[in-house]
Amino acid sequence: MNEECVDLNSDKMFIEIKIGNATLIREFEDINDKKLYYANQCIEDGDKSQGLAIIEELANNGYAPAQDRLAGIYLLENKNDHNYIQKALKLYHLSASQGDEDAIYHLGILYTTDEFIEKDLYKAEYWLLKSAEKDRAGMYQLGRLYFSKESPMYDKEKGLKYLEEAASWEDEDAMVFLGGLYYYGEEVKQDYQKAAHYLDIPAYCWGNNAAQLMLGTIYYYGLGMKKDEKMALLAFQEAANDGVEIAKEYVKKIKKTRAKKFFCYCILLFIFLKFLFLF
């Protein structure tokens, strides 16, 4: 990013970004959005002090997205410092009180574990219910919360409802989770066709290795549907390219089987042609 092209005090609602000989234009809705974007770019480019100073100023001025961003920075960089954790929690609440969707979601996640603060699944449910109203990631996490037997609000039907809703919005985590549920038959009746339905896009479009392995296995063994080595190879090959060892083994098996089939085909063709020319 070329800092010479950026004037944060300008009324222009865009930033010119130099990439090689090209100039890209990034437009913004307001000046605070512009400043926050620039601050994040500073941090990404290695100028952490300048980026953090801008974010802190925005947060102190009550800009909700900056409060959420600053809270995340405090947690990640000071996870063992109680004072910073409390500062982060306060910032999340300030941001969430203004309706910031990211902050609402982050509060829900924060209360699901005891990594930073005391675990409180009732508070997690409260914030995730708010998040699920607009956000597919919130739907997924709420579905997981209801689906967990360790949760005091365990409700399998509610869990499936939110998971399926998140999957309908093509949330990758929800689709792979549901695919796994139906693949292994955990808490639901095993259904390989439903599993394949949920795993198809994560496996073939998004390169999700877990989805590729499950879907590849379904096609390879013909589980709940017709065996299809071509589709199995497509799934396994993608996972193998990412270094997944078991996928590499399946690729070898399929290619070996294909080579044998081709060899047998050639032999039969040779015999047929020889027989044809004899007569």
What integer pLDDT is reported at residue 29 of this predicted model?
Answer: 76
Say what angle helices 209-221 and 172-184 make with each other, to 10 degrees.
40
Each domain of the chain, given as residue ranges in start order, spans 190-279
Mean per-residue pLDDT, 46-68: 96
What integer pLDDT is reported at residue 255 of this predicted model?
Answer: 87
Mean per-residue pLDDT, 219-237: 96
Q: Quick one: which H or E segment has residue 4?
A: none
Average confidence score pLDDT of the chain: 89
CA gap 118, 154 in Å, rounded:
20
**Residue 238 — very low, low, confident or very high, per pLDDT cuts 50/70/90?**
very high
What integer pLDDT is reported at residue 262 of this predicted model?
Answer: 53
**Residue 276 — very low, low, confident or very high, per pLDDT cuts 50/70/90?**
low
Is the pLDDT at 252 greater than 70? The verdict is yes
From 20-29, 60-69, 259-268, the region with the lowest mean pLDDT:
259-268
Mean per-residue pLDDT, 253-276: 64
What integer pLDDT is reported at residue 4 of this predicted model?
Answer: 43
Is the pLDDT at 231 greater than 60? The verdict is yes
Classify residue 187 as left (phi > 0), alpha (psi -120 to 50) or beta: left
Mean per-residue pLDDT, 161-182: 98
What integer pLDDT is reported at residue 5 of this predicted model?
Answer: 46
What are the φ/ψ torsions at residue 42 (nearest 5 degrees)?
-60, -45
What integer pLDDT is reported at residue 264 of this predicted model?
Answer: 60
What integer pLDDT is reported at residue 3 of this predicted model?
Answer: 44
Is the pLDDT at 56 greater than 90? The verdict is yes
Mean per-residue pLDDT, 122-145: 97
Does 272 or 153 have the greater pLDDT score? Answer: 153
**Residue 186 — very low, low, confident or very high, per pLDDT cuts 50/70/90?**
confident
CA gap 215, 175 in Å, rounded:
12
Mean per-residue pLDDT, 34-57: 93
Question: Over 100-162, what HEC string results?
Answer: CHHHHHHHHHHCCCCCCCCCCHHHHHHHHHHHHCCCHHHHHHHHHHHHCCCCCCCCHHHHHHH
Does 162 or 266 have the greater pLDDT score? Answer: 162
